[in-house]
Amino acid sequence: MEDVTLLILEWLGEQGVNAMIRVDAERVRDRRPPWTFAASGGPLSQPFRADGASAEQCMGRALIQLRDAGVIVPF
C-alpha cells in the first residue's frame, strides 16, 4: 500500500479532492492509532478521516470510505 499512497494522493488531487496522510507523534506516545488520512472537496459530499495503526491500515480504511462515498480509486 505504501508504494501507491503518493499515486493515490496525486490522483485524488486531480479529481479535485483535498487529501493528506500524516503520522502524529503524540498519538504514538499515547499508544493510539497514529496514522490519519483526511479528505474533503471534489466529489465528496462531506469531509472524512480514517485512522490506523500503520500507514497501510490507514490507507486501507480510507479507500473503503472513498469507495462508499462513490470515489473509486483506480489503484
**Span 24-61, pLDDT tens digits:** 999 999 999 999 999 999 999 999 999 999 999 999 99
- Specify whether the CB–CB gap between 39 and 12 falls below 8 A: yes
Least Cα distance to 21 among 5, 45, 44 occurs for 5
**pLDDT value at 2 more than 80:** no
What are the extents of the domains in the chain? 2-68
Residue 13 binned pLDDT confidence (cut-offs 50, 70, 90) = very high
User: For residue 75, what pLDDT is reported?
Assistant: 84
pTM above 0.85, yes or no: yes
Mode of pairing for the β-strands spanning 18-23 and 48-52: unpaired
User: For residue 26, what pLDDT is reported?
Assistant: 96
The CATH code for residues 2-68 is: 3.30.160
